Amino acid sequence: MIKSRCTSFSFQHGSALILLMLVLLLIATAALFSGLNGSTVRIKRDKTTASALAEAKAALIGYTLTNGTKPGTLPCTDYENNNDGSADTSGSNNCKAFIGRLPWKQLGVPMLKDGYGECLWYALSPDFRNQMTVANRKLNPINSNTPGTITLVNDNEASLGNVNPVIAVIIAPNSPVNGQSRSGEASDYCPGDSLAGNYLDARGAVNNATGNVVGDNYTFKLGKADNDFNDQLVYITAKEFYAPLKKRIVREIVGNVDVPSGLFRYYQYPLGAPHNDYPCPAKTVDGNADCTLATGFVPYNDPAVDLTYPTLGTWLTNNGWFVMTTYQYITATHIKVTLADAFGSFSCEANANVVTCSAP
């Protein structure tokens, strides 16, 4: 009988061990799949966020390139509580705020949201706003010598010197941290209010909700994500902004057979009795031609040098682009326009009615 009781005890003990091992295995398996599932969700959300940020950045650069009369400017932020995707301005000279939601309607893109369903936020250097009077713009010109006024820092609050200063930042707020109050995800509008502190995070001495603003200077943090900070930022550097803008401006000055503006217009016009040559260079930046020169400034004051948009020539003058541009009169039917700055140079040549553009 003793042997039987021992055998029974051993069997029960062995069964308990097996059952315990099965339970532990099930727990480990559940934890593994839970971790995999959570990781998959995070990866999907991160991809959504990265895609939205990239599209917003491209749209902002595209906006400044295709602006008919004010190339180089950016829209104001969407700041009002209606969250309608439209830029909110203050009179004819200012934005209501320089930190706000992305004005996706002005940019011609869909409502862009991060992986948590939150609309993107955006901050721009104030001088780059498209809401400014002509008199004020003359005092604050935009050309490729004009720096942004936004500084980026890391978690140690050291400047990211290789990119600073930047012209604009786009921020994905992601999920709430530190008791931030939000109204939750919405499918057809941006949820919540215009209080940046409910969406953008603070760490150390830097608060992304205020940009630590001093005058026109802002500071934003690119920090490591954790439980109290999860803002994701992309930014637009001066090189990214001005390299394509410079090309737009040179092409606009020269024109071509498809867009008969600028110098090419002079060559082709007036209709029925075209010049079939190009104007002489200007001796000074005033744009008046002087045929004693082979190289000078663009002779934009000749009435036949008519830019596509009537106010574009004034815009280029007021913002100092012609000062940076060289006009070479190679022959009467062959000219070259070069715009040079700290990021390099870009040229377009017009040889009779053929225009080619490339870096020199």
Residues 85 and 228 reside in one and the same domain: yes
Task: Report yes or no on 20 lying in a domain.
Answer: no
Q: How far apart are CA 274 and CA 49, in angstroms?
A: 54
For residue 136, which of 102, 92, 182 has the smallest C-alpha distance?
92
Query: What integer pLDDT is reported at residue 191 of this predicted model?
Result: 76
Same domain, 230 and 267: no
Is residue 114 a contact partner of residue 295, using CB atoms and an 8 Å limit? no
Distances (CA, A) of 203 to 94, 109, 159: 29, 31, 15
**Residue in the block written with tokens 């205020």:** 210
Q: What is the mean pLDDT of residues 195-223?
A: 97
Strands 150-153 vs 218-221: parallel, antiparallel or unpaired: parallel
**Same-domain pairing of 79 and 211:** yes
For 266-305, what is each residue's pLDDT tens digit?
Answer: 888 887 788 899 999 999 998 899 999 999 999 988 777 7
Same domain, yes or no: 193 and 46: yes
Claim to verify: residue 39 and residue 176 sit in the same structural domain: yes
pLDDT of residue 174: 94
Residue 35 predicted with pLDDT over 60:
no
Residue 202 to residue 254: CA distance in whole angstroms: 48
CB atoms within 10 A of CB 92: 10
- Domain membership of residue 22 (yes or no) is no
What pLDDT sits at residue 69?
87
What whole-number distance in Å separates Cα of residue 225 and Cα of residue 172?
A: 12
Q: Which two tokens stand for residue 305?
A: 């040098």
Q: What does the pLDDT read at residue 259?
A: 65
Burial of 89 (0-12, 13-18, 19+ CB in 10 A): middle
> Is 50 a domain residue?
yes
**Environment class of residue 30 by beta-carbon count within 10 Å: exposed (0-12), middle (13-18) or buried (19+)?**
exposed
Query: Sorting pLDDT into bands at 50, 70 and 90, what band is 183?
Result: confident
> How many degrees, rounded to 5, is the angle at CA 72 between CA 69 and CA 78?
95
Provide the pLDDT confidence category of residue 41 given band limits of 50, 70 and 90: confident
Reported as type and span, the H/E element at residue 302 is none
Give the pLDDT confidence score for residue 14 in this predicted structure.
55
Distance, in Å, from the CA atom of 31 to the CA atom of 119, rounded to the nearest integer, reads 32
**261 and 214: one domain?**
no
Per the document, the length of the chain is: 360
Q: Where are the alpha helices (DSSP H) in 68-176?
A: 104-107, 134-139
Beta strand 121-124 with 166-172 is antiparallel
The stretch 45-74 carries a mean pLDDT of: 95
**Averaged pLDDT for residues 230-246:** 97
| Residue 355 clears pLDDT 80, i.e. is over it | yes
User: Band of the pLDDT at 51, cuts 50, 70, 90?
Assistant: very high
Please compute the mean of the pLDDT values over residues 352-357 and round it to a whole number. 91
- Shared domain for 85 and 169, answered yes or no, is yes
| Amino acid 190: pLDDT | 82
> Does residue 231 register a pLDDT over 90?
yes
Q: Does residue 17 carry a pLDDT above 60?
A: no
Q: Which two tokens stand for residue 35?
A: 């971790």
Q: Name the average pLDDT for the chain.
A: 87
Residues 118 and 265 in one domain: no
Residue (of 202, 190, 229, 232) closest to 100 by Cα position: 190
Residue with structure tokens 């942004």?
148
Arithmetic mean of pLDDT, 107-132: 95
Containing structural domain, residue 213:
30-238
**Residue 148 has what pLDDT?**
98
Lowest mean pLDDT, pick from 14-18, 71-75, 290-294: 14-18
In the predicted structure, residue 82 carries a pLDDT above the cut 90: no
Arithmetic mean of pLDDT, 146-169: 96
Answer whether residue 326 shows pLDDT above 60. yes
Q: What is the pLDDT of residue 6?
A: 47
Region 10-20: what's the mean pLDDT? 54
User: Which of 196, 212, 238 is a domain's end point?
Assistant: 238
DSSP string of 176-198?
Answer: --TT-------SSS--S-S-GGG
Higher-confidence position of 15 and 343:
343
Region of poorest pLDDT, from 45-49, 191-195, 244-248 = 191-195
Residues 84 and 140 in one domain: yes
User: Across-strand partners of 328?
Assistant: 295, 336
pLDDT at 7 over 70: no
Pick the residue with more confidence: 309 or 85?
85
How many domains is the chain partitioned into structurally?
Answer: 2
Q: Which of 270, 272, 324, 326 has its CA nearest to residue 298?
A: 326
- Which pTM does this prediction carry? 0.86
pLDDT at 128: 98
Model confidence at 240: pLDDT above 70: yes
Please give the share of the chain, as a percent, with pLDDT higher than 70: 85
pLDDT above 90 for 179: no
Pick from 178, 212, 238: which residue ends a domain? 238
Note whether 226 and 324 are same-domain residues. no
Q: Are residues 61 and 131 in the same domain?
A: yes
